[in-house]
Structure 1
Amino acid sequence: MSTSAPEWIPLLVPDMPSPEELLPWLRRMHATHHYSNFGPLVRELEAAFARRFALPQAQLTTVANATQGLELVLQALDLPAGARVLIPAFTFVATATAVLRAGFTPVLADVDAHCWMLTPAIARDACQHMHIDAVLPVATFGMPHGMLEWHQFEKETGLPVVIDAAAAYGSQWLQGAEGTLVFSLHTTKSLPAGEGGLVVSTRPGLAAKVRQLSNFGINLDPAADVPVGALAGVGTNAKMSEYHAAIGLVSLSKWELSAQSRQALQCDLTTALSAAANGRLVWQAQGCDASLMAPTLLCARLPDAQTRATLERLCAEARIMTRRWYQPLLTGMQVLQGRAIELNAHRAIDLGETLLGLPFFPDMALEQRQRIQDVVARACGGQ
């Protein structure tokens, strides 16, 4: 008598608001007949963000997505043509493509072996060996950076620092320092709006310039030197729609509960999997004096590449989805060859050879957790 195979355990499951939760907001939108172009829901969402960051609303703006937010922030910095922007070699491709699409050159740097991020110390070392015009660290897997350290780096070097905080909403704050942050509101993030992004900056005029560039670069300020309706810069269409703002507002209204649930799940899983692996798994270390408030991924570092391959194979046999974050590394991307400058990134390379993403999503069933735990035990010699 055959037994049917268990259902696949997905890697991620978006935690999006239900249609019923969205309906009142969609009715408000429809009543105003305002669906884009900085409508009332977008402005309400931005006002809510301003309160949370304790900043004037003029110091932040929504965008269509974080990738365009990064591009427009880099453009708004008025860097010289061909400017070199230091980024980690261990990151999602959008960090590099944003630099290229803004007309600049990515410089691929190493990351810290423990927090898996580009740190001020690594950036200082790179600046001693070559000319750098700006730094674009990444809040890897949502782990926040210490903004006081990066603020000090900016003051010492005069180089602008922009944090790619795509996965770090609710974890990455300015922490009383000056700085620029770009968040993603993608469906897989801790504050999902389906698509969307948020730019937060204490740099004078930066958020306003990004907002203008997101509306094609058209001037809407009667007091400006350029006539209203004329181009003040060469921008693009990167505005957040009212539809996405509606989703974002619902998600924001219950963010704290969601964050607590994600924290609890991460704690339970890391504890159980560490025990199953006899302590052979390594987790991302906290990068500063702030903690990861709303994790969206679960990534474990295995002892070596062979053990990772074994765990991948056993997971596939047990119908458990996995992913090699971020593979291939930027240093191995053929499209970037000749378009990026590569520095020594041996720690990033080692990380790329041993890291594996495991399933992580709200409402994960106990049976699913146990199946993952059993496979990890087998792969790491726990039983």
Structure 2
Amino acid sequence: MPSADAILPYLERIDASRQYSNFGPLVRELEIRLAERLAPDAHAVTASSGTSALVLGLMALDLPRGAVCALPSWTFVATAHAVLAAGLTPWFIDVDAETAMLDPQACQTVLSRAPGKVRAIIPVCAHGAPLDVGGWAHFQSQTGVRVVVDAAAAHDSLTSAPFPMAVSLHATKSLGAGEGGYVVCPDTDFAQRLRMLSSFGFNGSREAQMIAQNAKMSEYAAAVALSAMDSWASTRLLYQQTAFKLRIALKDVPQVQFQEGWGLRWVSSVCVVRIPAGTLAPLIAFLKANDIDTRQWWGEGCHVSRAFAELARDDMPNTEHLAATTLGLPYCATMNDAQVSRLTGLLQQFFQDS
């Protein structure tokens, strides 16, 4: 996260403008800079959180209330919460065994098993991994099912936005504002609808034009995000350098498999690895005994959570396998050499002894 000194010039601009929310100058500047990263015709609309951004993206589709929305169970619970908050009916489906993400070609077959007509689908960029944008564009044109992407951790890997993509700016993400998010999309009218949905349905007057939310980003959050963007190149390099160190140290430990392209072509704020079946619980216990914590970021899948246990779902063999073979290791942009060596040394020791 940016330092107080780095944020201060933006805070001084807030003091000068005396505008603190409601699409102030810093928010507008941030939206322009976020959109410019992708394409000349891209639009970015900020929100109070990544979850709110996804809710707005779904609401902006203007689907019938209760319409079925397919989503992976292998995701953070915010994805499912967003579907329900948008007034849609979640239907959990399985992901591809290799990518840990929904496969657009496979999903065309899966739709035939849905509990009703699927009107929307949410591909999730697993831990920030890049999406098959072309495949999903073809899926949408072939099926008529609207695509909204949960790209919460994928700020770095986004290169285009042919459909709405919701990104998180939470403090745990690679580009952080403390709390916040944004949606990128290619359509001016859709972006305007997003903006209205984030502000009570207002559009130049005090009359609510539609059922909406209060999900605006404040100028203070925009100040932090703009400062984070100022230093993004150096922050990204730190993430990449740490990823290189982990990869090199574990190159002779084939039991630890990194995500495809992680740290090489794209970065995120987490290190998620695959390990052999049967080693998850022992490895967690071994590292814990050595005062190193780990994370099962997505648990056993959303469909197992009490809040969603009664919702419709397809068979989940790949999700169940991923839950048993996926682990989040300690990782941050400022991880030093001693921390890398200690972690990787323990991993080497565990798999040599097991």
Farther off after superposition, 121-130 or 315-324:
121-130
Aligned residue identity for 1:90: W
> 1:139 and 2:125 equivalent?
yes
Mapped contact 1:123–1:135 kept (Cα < 8 A): no
SS of 1:179 mapped into structure 2: coil
Aligned with residue 216 of structure 2, among 239, 243, 247: 239
What does residue 187 of structure 1 align with?
A: 171
What does residue 23 of structure 1 align with?
A: 8
> 1:260 and 2:240 equivalent?
no
What does residue 370 of structure 1 align with?
A: 341
What does residue 155 of structure 2 align with?
A: 169
Aligned residue identity for 1:353: A
Tell me the TM-score normalised to structure 1 length.
0.88
Shift, 1:124, TM fit: 1.1
> 1:318 and 2:318 equivalent?
no
> 1:40 and 2:25 equivalent?
yes
Structure 1's unaligned 5+ residue stretches are 1-15, 221-227
Deviations 1:297-350 (A, max 9, x none): 111111113x11121111111111101121131121122122x21101101110
Shift, 1:52, TM fit: 1.6
SS of 2:146 mapped into structure 1: coil
Aligned with residue 296 of structure 1, among 242, 251, 269: 269
What does residue 36 of structure 2 align with?
A: 51
Shift, 1:204, TM fit: 5.3
Shift, 1:210, TM fit: 1.1
- Structure label with greater radius of gyration: 1
> 1:121 and 2:92 equivalent?
no
Counterpart CA distance in 2 for 1:219 and 1:337 is 39
Mapped contact 1:88–1:110 kept (Cα < 8 A): yes
Counterpart CA distance in 1 for 2:265 and 2:124 is 14
Mapped contact 2:94–2:319 kept (Cα < 8 A): yes
Mapped contact 2:38–2:158 kept (Cα < 8 A): no
Mapped contact 1:193–1:248 kept (Cα < 8 A): yes
Identity between Structure 1 and Structure 2 (%)? 37
SS of 2:37 mapped into structure 1: helix
Shift, 1:114, TM fit: 1.3
Deviations 1:1-57 (A, max 9, x none): xxxxxxxxxxxxxxx111111111101111111111111111111111222222347
What does residue 317 of structure 2 align with?
A: 346
Aligned with residue 273 of structure 1, among 240, 244, 250: 250
What does residue 206 of structure 2 align with?
A: 229
Structure 2's unaligned 5+ residue stretches are none
Aligned length in residues = 352
Shift, 1:292, TM fit: 4.7
Counterpart CA distance in 1 for 2:40 and 2:106 is 30
Q: Structure 1 residues 119 and 356 mapped into 2: Cα distance closer, same or farther (>3 Å)?
A: same
Aligned residue identity for 1:157: T
Mapped contact 1:180–1:203 kept (Cα < 8 A): no
What does residue 4 of structure 1 align with?
A: none
What does residue 11 of structure 1 align with?
A: none
> 1:66 and 2:50 equivalent?
yes
Deviations 1:256-284 (A, max 9, x none): 22112212211221232242x3x112222
Mapped contact 1:85–1:105 kept (Cα < 8 A): yes
Deviations 1:203-243 (A, max 9, x none): 452221111011111121xxxxxxx2211111111110111
Counterpart CA distance in 2 for 1:272 and 1:379 is 14
Aligned residue identity for 2:138: Q
Tell me the TM-score normalised to structure 2 length.
0.95
SS of 2:352 mapped into structure 1: coil
Counterpart CA distance in 2 for 1:375 and 1:291 is 24
What does residue 282 of structure 1 align with?
A: 257
Aligned residue identity for 2:214: N
> 1:159 and 2:145 equivalent?
yes
Farther off after superposition, 206-215 or 48-57:
48-57
Counterpart CA distance in 2 for 1:206 and 1:181 is 12
